[in-house]
Amino acid sequence: MEQNPVFSQNFEIQSHHIVRNFEASLQYLMGCMQHTAERHVDSMHIGWEDLHAKGCFWAIYRMGIQIERMPKKYETITVRTWANPPQRLIQPRSFEILDKDGNILLQAQSMWIILEEKTFRPLTIEDVAGCGDAMYRMGDSGGFSMNLKIGSIDTTGLSPACTRTVLYSDIDTNHHVNNTNYVRWFIDSFSSDFLEHHFLHSIVINYTLQALIEEQYSIYTKELDGGKTLSVIVRGSDELCKITAEWRRLE
């Protein structure tokens, strides 16, 4: 039987998933997307346990999200995901989050790589699993595209929006900061007044280095025209990740 390249899973927004106005947090929705992706690759026998047995692991490289509306408390959402054809070492993956009526709430694109556990040498999906075209949704990415590359950021003359310490709750089973936590750090670096009056319409994250427990990090942000911001999270002189965002003022 031919495998469906699109994988879906439902989630209900609970009270501990929400922030202001009873809306789901972006960190939680990113977790839903990545959980669905994990279930998808598990079903194709290229999940965490399969790769760990071969001495390698998946790592997210870049991600871009466009938000039409955030789901609210007790809404049931459907997360759809599929792998797009690989680009050399990069494995692209697309997502959609739908409401109960099939309306698109969020769309996302991401880029993943497979790394050797000991050397961090990148591998192709063909090196690891020899997968063919049947695992990919061919020809499109759901009609949605984003530029996921962020250029260099000059922080000269900027003061950090915050400087904090990596806590135990930031760390995942790989013993470094979970990738969704960088987005929480980024959002929390803005004032409550700004967040009460602005809606995050789109965000792009580029991951560079891993942060570890008890390290200190700082966040620098530049405000750009058109309601856009450009941020970098650093550990000393090392860049951990870069984030661009487009905000829309609430009426």
What pLDDT is attached to residue 124?
A: 87
pLDDT at 135 (0 to 100): 67
Q: Decide: 14 and 42 in contact? Cβ < 8 Å.
A: no
Considering the entire predicted model, what is its pTM?
0.92
Per-residue pLDDT at 127: 82
Residue with tokens 């790769």: 51
pLDDT digits (tens, 9 = 90+) for 9-35: 999 999 999 998 899 999 999 999 999
DSSP secondary structure string for all residues of 83-98: EPPPBTTBEEEEEEEE
Contact 82, 138 (CB under 8 A): no
Which stretches of the chain score pLDDT less than 70? 1-3, 131-143
Q: Domains in the chain and their CATH numbers? A: 6-135 (3.10.129.10), 162-249 (3.10.129.10)
